[in-house]
Structure 1
Amino acid sequence: MDSSSPISVQKALKSQESAPQSSPKPQSLKKSFVTSLMEATTLRTPSFKEDSYFTSHLKPSEKKALQELKDKLQAASSSSCCSMWGIPLLGGDEKADVILLKFLRARDFKVSDSLHMLEKCLSWRKEFGADTILEGDFSGFKELEGVVAYMNGYDRDGHPVCYNAYGVFKDKEMYERIFGDEEKLKKFLRWRVQVLERGIEQLHFKPGGINSIIQVTDLKDMPKRELRVASNQILSLFQDNYPEMVARKIFINVPWYFSVLYSMFSPFLTQRTKSKFVIAKEGNVAETLYKFIRPEDIPVQYGGLSRPTDLQNGPPKPASEFTVKGGETVNIQIEGIEGGATITWDIVVGGWDLEYSAEFVPNGEGSYTIAVEKPRKIAANEEAIHNSFTSKEAGKMVLSVDNTASRKRKVAAYRYIVRKSATISA
């Protein structure tokens, strides 16, 4: 049985219940010798303020444009049942207004242009079968699930997060199998739309609700030239038919030349577009993602605690976050573990490259400390550690991360549960 409510260390010592304990804040035992350290570089853009969909917040000209779009759509529609994502566009309710405002904003509230875009989108959705694509069988793309494009958790504000990584296509055999001809490309695009529609299915489409998703794109090993046709088609398809559906675009593992290209093209991008961009260089992935997404919702390959199998067990158990400064050792003490109890824990440090160990310290005098995991260097590219230990006597678990050999500050997270023994002593 799991528990999501915080339990202090002192309370855990007195607890007689079998419910697992949530994670307290770690104790920093050794202070950093260097207090102001150089943080990993992130190319930051002006922060994006998400649009309001309350009609009361619209400018008079925007309200007028919304009403004109409704009138033109009504006049142009052969029937009153045109809809998107199960929402009738002529129903006159706030959900319809949210969708119409997305098309208006995509065309700077130019009503004729917005109507043209909307009509083309309705036509495309009917021809493409977008409304029923969630029911489609794409078993042929099973190897891409959870690798190339997938929905995984939410950001700190509740937006569904879509991850994209095309590095696997540097393998020529994989590339030919997926993009070898026009028919294969069409099937891939349909699968990719299905992934996006899964995310949109989670949106509220109402004022004050969650009305857009977060896109995280991993540029590591991405074969730019080979994927040019596919990426252009994906980009065009999404821009034309999913306006204002992305609240923020986070690019990670960005190569050095991307920043140069961004600087060149930045003057030609609108402030609105640039405000959605967050660009993180390789080595700064976890620290960047932690700013927007909680660690339990970040995939393990990006410095988080989320594994594909976690989704089968309901919402993820919340994690406690902490930082490890350069030249610092942080010890996490989990107390109140009774004899026969089993403690299971996850711990991760973004960009590891430090020493980690775990030991059990019994309460009894004369008892010896048990090295559960001997001190070892964890490489920068290693994923979160998952382990468990069953104690024979009461005591505490100490997880230690030693960053004294580095001058770089690192983000980190951990969580644990403690289950008492089912055996009842006489």
Structure 2
Amino acid sequence: MPSTALARQHNDPGFPSLWEELRWRGLVQVSTDEEALAAVLASGSITAYCGFDPTAPSLHLGNLLQLLVLRRLQLAGHRPLGLVGGSTGLIGDPRPTAERVLQSKEQVADRVRLIADQVARFLDFDGEVAAEVVNNLDWTEGLSAIDFLRDVGKHYRIGTMLKKDAVSTRLNSEAGISYTEFSYQILQGYDFLELFRSRGCVLQTGGSDQWGNLTSGIDLIHRVEGKAVHAIGTPLITNSDGTKFGKSEGNAIWLDAVLTSPYAFFQFWLNTTDDDVVDRLKAYTFLTRAEIDELDLAQTDRPGLREAQRRLAWEVTALVHGDPAADAARDASAALFGTGELGAIDAGTLEAAITELPRTHGEPGDRLDALLAASGLAKSNGDARRAIAQGGVYVNNRRVEDADAVLGEPDLLHGRFVVLRRGKRTLAALVRA
């Protein structure tokens, strides 16, 4: 995370405790004993961890929620550990439907490095509660199968393991479950035990769908060390219509700028529905309750301005990609629809902004009426000429007044792109052939 974002992050002092704020922000779906956990969080600095398996080359929005929980804990004076699963990534957390395809050790190692770098961006590594990124391969790679079965496996009961949701679902499916994935919960439990022993870690956070794996470590520590530790399961975020949050036409929204551009990231948040925007502001930003209440009121009084969505989009984009990228995405979004200067947008942001638009190819000297027809903004050359005559056609937000106009070299932004617009909001892109 950019240092400017870290510097302006604070928990809301209007809450009597961190626990109350986590509850208000909708970040607690399930937990160990609530009263005891609230007391632990209020009693002094503790160490907490969350695990991130390298199942992809980037983290996504579900992972971002976990990182922000760790950051909120750190801001409250607790030490966060970001665990990257170099060993659990080799095994694979059981999915409800089918066995994961095992990745090579080399591919997992490459992804571990990428994920570790991403985790490190969202935590502060200075000060009394400096964060640490750890890799569970460090304490499992040298562990023999015999030692693992004797020292760890003997504390697990098959009956209990079979009751875990992910396991029972797979057992009842055609695919079944391999011993490899069945053992995943033991490995995750061992991680908690190791971090308890080596770093005094007493809290694990994760998604509520991981609750069986979270409690695996709690049970193991209780059996081996006779100590009580804690866990928080965050809710699985869904949209108000019940669809899975963080999916766009089947594709995850990634934190890696190459996989999801800052502009596309910004647009995802900008398109949040009115029913969902306040919940997203609570969970994914560091805005205070008073600020969020004010945006909620603005949404009710002035819904057409979409102030809450615009603030949400900027805040989360700045959080992940930095202020300049958030500013560029905001300005590009405005400029596409005529309220900003397209020529001031950098080439990368502009290219990302027009990715989803209908497009055609053209060169200087091509007639604009033909290009409008080719782009789909007009049904024919004649339709395009009528639209120009009526004053409804724009090239890079400049109204076209001549029905016989041709594309000029200066029209090509960054020597490559042209934004065509008919009316207020119907857009197409022209890219130099």
Q: TM-score range by the shorter chain?
A: under 0.3
TM-score by length of 1: 0.28
> TM (normalized to structure 2)?
0.27
User: Which structure has more RCO (C-alpha within 8 Å, separation ≥ 6)?
Assistant: 1
Which structure is higher in strand share?
1
Higher helix share: 2
